[in-house]
Every structure is written in structure tokens, then in C-alpha cells.
Amino acid sequence: MFQDTASALFGVAGLQVTDVQAGPGGALEVWAVTDWPGSAACPDCGALSDRPHETVLARPRDARRAGDPVDLRWVKRRWKCTEESCERRTFTERLPQVPPRCRVTARLREQAAREVAERGITPAEAARHAGLSWPVVHDAFAARADRVPGPAPAPVAHLGIDEHRRGRPRWRTDDETGEYVQLADRWHTCFYDLSGKQGMLGQAEGRTADDAAYWLAGAAPAWLDAVRVVAIDMCTIYASAVRRMLPGAVIAVDLFHVVQLAVKTIGDARRRAVREKYGRRGKSGDPEYGVKNLLVRNLENLTPAQFAKIIETLDADEAGQQIALAWIAKEKLRAALNLRARATGSAPCERQVRDRLFAFYDWCAQNEAIPELLSLARTISRWEDEIVAAVLTGVTNATSESLNRLAKLEARMAYGFRNPASQRRRVRIACTRGARRNQSRTATARRTRLVSSGLPNPG
């Protein structure tokens, strides 16, 4: 509660504004005295003093007002401790917002930390704007970020697991053999809430099955039991960690990556066929090169003219026919994936999905002369159960991928991280920003009168 409107507008609890002047360079010079009940209590013995010793001027750095810098001049007292048994002879006044020997108000530090956490700017940028040093902002941000996420996440029905690389791999040449030896290649594994709005649930250093399993082992048994579906990329490491730690959950692979693999197979087949035909790599002007971007598209999105162009080009010779066979294999695989409810509007049945996958295998087996198709069919059959689960449940790893993009963006904005702890913290904050926004939206507003005296509120 403040004594007057000016103090309430200034808003530092315990400071009463006595005068305001325009300073040089658009700065606002604010003069204030202490207005805090416990400010005359000795910090050692707690006795209230009534013997002022001297007056000192403190100039803690404070938050800007409407973009202009604020020059706060706090006239505070130094008191003599009147308690005979107390060791301390004098002490200055202190406030929760401005602790002793602190040259920055708590609200300025918090504002800088909040800007890093919620606006996604770097600590360096926030420090420049607030007129603080990088270590001060970093420490304030770290204190805020280390409370996120909370101690235990809420139950999650669909869990997503994804990884991102930390920095770039480092190599050195071996002196004896002259070969490259990898020095460091570090990864972070992240766990995401796909069914709710919690964003990132946790992160683990490294990307082995043990790293992922270790994080899962730290979760409560009831929380693990609640996980029904785990979405992963086609990565055997995470699949084994999930099977070990979440035996009751169904694994679903991300269908985007399945299609991506099929598209890559067309490219591989095209490059090989072109090399066999011309004895060189493809270049613009080759008929096969002209349709390569059309082959990537979904069949249903091609115009009749584009479809005719593909048929005409690939029908011309042996090389083209090989590419066409790979292209048809992709569409046969997509036919199975397109049974998912999101695409058809009705719940798929498992038999139907497996039948269409069988048609895909059959096609690959009929065209075993194309080695790329065999290896694609082998990979797909290895992941068949997980693909069927993804089609039946409709769970995708898209949320993980979008949050993973945020995680990578943080590293770019920081021009790379020197410190892995800083990186984990920044990534965690970035990937839970949406969840915090949802929480603050649901908070109810409350009105409290801030000034104790003065004119009554007209409203």
C-alpha cells in the first residue's frame, strides 16, 4: 500500500516519491525516501532504532519508464543500533526490492530475466536494453528458468521423443594413420507432451537408449502407466528405451518420416538409373531431371498436365521405367498411410492397413531388380507394427518436431552455446513458453486499491 498516487505509479514497495524532475538525455530523475515499517530494525538483533546516524544517497539502477531511463535517487538513513548487547553499531535501511549493497532494483533484474524467458531474446540483448551486465541478467534468468518445468509433469497420454544436436561434431586427424577421429558429437534428447499443452516435459543429455531410459526411470510409476502412445522418429535407439521402460505403451513412428524415406528412395533410384543411362550424373536438360520435383509431390496434388508429363517422360526408356516403378512404390506405401482418420474422416481398421502394406511389399518384391525398393521394403517391414500403430492412433510427432525447431532456433540466436547447462535451460524455457501462456490466460484478474489516502476513486 502506498501513501500517495505518485509513489503508487512509481511502484517500488517501500519508497515514497518526493520529487520528480526531467534529467539530461530524456532521463526521469525520481527522488524518494523510505516508507517501510521494518526499515529501522537492526538486521542483527531486530531491535527498532530511533537514533538516526546520517543520511546517504543511494542510486540503484531501475527499470525504464515508457522507454526512457530512470535515474532513481533514494535518500535513505543510516541508523545506530540502540541495543547494548548488539555487535553492530550502524546499519542502513533496506527494502525487499533493494537489498543492502544491491545496485539494481529487484524488479529490473526480474524484468530482464522475464524478457529472456518470455520474449525469447538473448541475455546479451536484454542486458543491453536494461543497462545491466550479461552475468547479472544470466543469473537472474537462470534462477527463473531453473524452476521450469515444475517438479512433476501432469499425466501425458501421448509422449513424443526427439533429439537435437548440440553444436557440431568435432574431428581431429590421427597422427599415425592420418584418418579422421571424432572428438565430440553431443546430442540432447527431449521429451514432449503431444496430447496436452505442457510443451517440453524434460530433457536428457546424450541420445543413447540408456540416456532416454534414465530420464524415464526418474518419472513416477503412475505417470509412466498413464502413457498410452509414444511417438518417435524411425530410430531403433528410442524404440528400445521405450520398450524397456514403458512396456504397456504402443510405439508409433512419425508418418512424415516414413513418406520422406520413400521420397528419398525415388531420388536414389533416379540417380542410379540416370548414371547407368548417361554414364554421368543428371543435369538440367535431361528429361528425368525435369520431372524430379513432380515425383516428390503427392499423386492427388498433381494436375492432369503434370501427371501426363511424368508418364510421358518415364515411359520413354528403361531408365525412366525404373524411376516410375519406385514412384509407384511410394504411392502404394502412401495408400496405406492415407487410411488414417485425419485423412479419411473415419476410423481405419488394422486389417485394411496391413493389406495395403502387403500390396506395397508385393510391388517391391515384383520389382526386385531395383535394389532401392528392396531396402525400402525391408526398412518398412521392420517398422510395420509401429507404422500401423501410427495410422490407427493418428498420433504424430509433429509437435515434437515443431518444438525441436524452437530448440534449434535458440542455439542459432545464441550463436551456439559454450555451456551445455545454459543450452538446456534456454531450450527448456523456449519449449514451455506456450504452456506458461496458457496458464496465465486462465488466471482470474483481481482489483486491489493501491493508495491508502487521497481522492476517492471516481469509478
Write out the residues near Zn ion by the rule CB under 5 A: 42, 44-45, 81, 83, 86, 88
51 versus 103: smaller Cβ distance to Zn ion: 51
Residue 320: CB atoms within 10 Å: 22
We find the least distance from the C-beta atom of residue 1 to Zn ion, in angstroms, to be: 28
One-character DSSP codes across 48-65: BP--EEEEEEE--B---B
42 versus 98: smaller Cβ distance to Zn ion: 42
We find the least distance from the C-beta atom of residue 54 to Zn ion, in angstroms, to be: 17
- Greatest CA span in the chain, whole angstroms? 106
19 versus 44: smaller Cβ distance to Zn ion: 44
80 versus 228: smaller Cβ distance to Zn ion: 80
We find the least distance from the C-beta atom of residue 414 to Zn ion, in angstroms, to be: 47
79 versus 238: smaller Cβ distance to Zn ion: 79
86 versus 294: smaller Cβ distance to Zn ion: 86
Beta strands in 226-369 (DSSP E): 229-232, 250-253
We find the least distance from the C-beta atom of residue 85 to Zn ion, in angstroms, to be: 8
One-character DSSP codes across 310-324: HHHHHTSSHHHHHHH
We find the least distance from the C-beta atom of residue 65 to Zn ion, in angstroms, to be: 37
Q: Side chain identity at 19, as an amino acid letter? A: D
We find the least distance from the C-beta atom of residue 81 to Zn ion, in angstroms, to be: 4
Please provide the distance, in angstroms rounded to a whole number, between the alpha carbons at the two ends of the chain: 19
Closest CA to 259 of 285, 234, 282, 293: 234
Residue 43: CB atoms within 10 Å: 12
What gap in Å lies between CA 413 and CA 422, rounded to an integer? 13
| 62 backbone φψ class: left, alpha, beta (φ>0; ψ -120 to 50) | beta
Helix (H) or strand (E) holding 427: helix 420-431
88 versus 281: smaller Cβ distance to Zn ion: 88
75 versus 86: smaller Cβ distance to Zn ion: 86
We find the least distance from the C-beta atom of residue 49 to Zn ion, in angstroms, to be: 8
Q: What angle do CA 205, 436, 221 make, to 5 degrees?
A: 50
Helix (H) or strand (E) holding 277: helix 255-278
What gap in Å lies between CA 290 and CA 319, rounded to an integer? 14
We find the least distance from the C-beta atom of residue 46 to Zn ion, in angstroms, to be: 7
We find the least distance from the C-beta atom of residue 45 to Zn ion, in angstroms, to be: 3
Q: Side chain identity at 214, as an amino acid letter? A: Y
What gap in Å lies between CA 186 and CA 205, rounded to an integer? 8
81 versus 314: smaller Cβ distance to Zn ion: 81
Peptide bond into 169 cis (omega under 30): no
What gap in Å lies between CA 431 and CA 436, rounded to an integer? 10
